[in-house]
Amino acid sequence: MRASDFNIESSRALVTGGGGFLGGAIVRQLLGQGIAVRSFARGEYPELAALGVEVVRGDLADEERVARACAGCDLVFHVAARPGVWGSHGEFFGPNVHGTKNVIAASHRHGISRLVYTSSPSVVFGGRDMEGVDESVPYPTRYHAHYPRTKAIAERMALKANSAKLSTVALRPHLIWGPGDNHLFPRLINRAREGSLKIVGDGTNKVDTIYVDNAAIAHLRAAATLAPDALQAGKAYFVSQGEPVVLSEMINRMLDAAGMAPVTKSVPAGVAYAAGAVLEAVHTVLRIKAEPRMTRFLARELSTSHWFDISAARRDFGYEPEVTTEEGLVRLAQWFAQSEARSDSGKEPEAARA
């Protein structure tokens, strides 16, 4: 059953972070279903307004602004978050934890019945290999970065909020990529151009990824059947392409989509981890705000296997990846070529505006 084969009952849906990579894909999927959409984000995003989206500006930490954005909606996709591997605790705790608290409170205040929360598999990543694990895997007792720690707190809050009046579900998409990517793909390209891109570890670790439209479709599918008595109410789900890939091979396939040579340099996982610890200490002592070239969390992410059993998402709300990895890479290559052409002609590429 494809995205066009199901209906979401909603008079107006709110997407926090609607101007972002995944948020924008969810917005487009909702519009394709004929649903009125409101986006809540800090930027203006005129491209959303041009599509007929009601754009509301504000910060997740502003309780009243969040409440106003939720007014008149009956469905919320809470996608916005502070991502990244570096920054102060407050920089992550404010938007990720307080922001989620404000979205939940606003949902109760305005009688919203469904909340789909965008989480991350990093909430259960403790730094070791995770191969084919399902949602029964526990949260770790220790994290190496504020992002997964605060996302785990927020996920628990969202799931605990599930009730007869507000049905909630959390989705954990892993390594989202595709046209319009303003995070993962540009970082790969920039480091490859600098000559600093290296494989961490022996290059055989497998990971899950997910094409952006598949991640968006998973959100809509979860919302379509979400209700107090639904199987997914109050639960978290892994969603992915359904087939783990060797990380080094996927990196090189993405570089190939950009017309670039494969990465051949590597660094031992232990060396990368030690370098991350040293760089974190230096940046902390010298109060350097820029992200270190390596962190402990990033070293573990790049050198371990982390792929997940998505049978629960398939069973409970009919999720299936509709765009194959091969087709997604073709689309990525086409988008990148168009972006480069726009950049060469003096126009700002979409990756910079997303």
At 255-312, the pLDDT tens digits run: 999 999 999 999 999 999 999 999 999 999 999 989 999 999 999 999 999 999 999 9
Angle between helix axes 146-160 and 99-109 (nearest 10 degrees) is: 20
- Is residue 329 assigned to a domain? yes
Q: Is the pLDDT score of 252 beyond 90?
A: yes
Among candidate residues 227, 61, 62, the one with its CA nearest the CA of residue 154: 61
At 26-64, the pLDDT tens digits run: 999 999 999 999 999 999 899 999 999 999 999 999 999
At 62-86, the pLDDT tens digits run: 999 999 999 999 999 999 999 998 9
- % of the chain surpassing 90 pLDDT: 87
pLDDT at residue 217, rounded to an integer: 97
pLDDT at residue 197, rounded to an integer: 93
16 three-state secondary structure: strand
CATH number at residue 239: 3.40.50.720
Tell me what the mean pLDDT of segment 250-257 comes to: 96
- Is residue 182 assigned to a domain? yes
Residues 6+ apart with CB under 8 A from 190: none
The residue assigned the tokens 């910079």 is 352
Q: Is the pLDDT score of 349 beyond 50?
A: no
306 three-state secondary structure: strand
Q: Is the pLDDT score of 101 beyond 60?
A: yes
- Is residue 57 assigned to a domain? yes
DSSP-assigned letter for residue 113? -
- Is residue 334 assigned to a domain? yes
Is residue 346 very low, low, confident or very high in pLDDT (cuts 50, 70, 90)? low
Among candidate residues 275, 246, 249, 279, the one with its CA nearest the CA of residue 264: 249
The residue assigned the tokens 């396939």 is 253
Is residue 1 very low, low, confident or very high in pLDDT (cuts 50, 70, 90)? very low
DSSP-assigned letter for residue 319? -
Give pTM, 2 decimals: 0.93
Is residue 247 very low, low, confident or very high in pLDDT (cuts 50, 70, 90)? very high
pLDDT at residue 6, rounded to an integer: 65
Q: Is the pLDDT score of 345 beyond 70?
A: no
The letter for the amino acid at 56 is V
- Is residue 178 assigned to a domain? yes
**What total number of domains does the chain contain?**
1
Q: Which domain holds residue 208?
A: 10-262+292-340
- Is residue 270 assigned to a domain? no
The per-residue pLDDT of the chain, averaged, comes to: 93
- Is residue 272 assigned to a domain? no
Helix (H) or strand (E) holding 54: strand 54-57
- Is residue 271 assigned to a domain? no
> Which amino acids are annotated catalytic?
147
pLDDT at residue 341, rounded to an integer: 77
At 201-223, the pLDDT tens digits run: 999 999 999 999 999 999 999 99
Q: Which tops the pLDDT comparison, 55 or 2?
A: 55
pLDDT at residue 240, rounded to an integer: 98
Torsion-angle region of residue 43: left (phi > 0), alpha (psi -120 to 50) or beta? beta
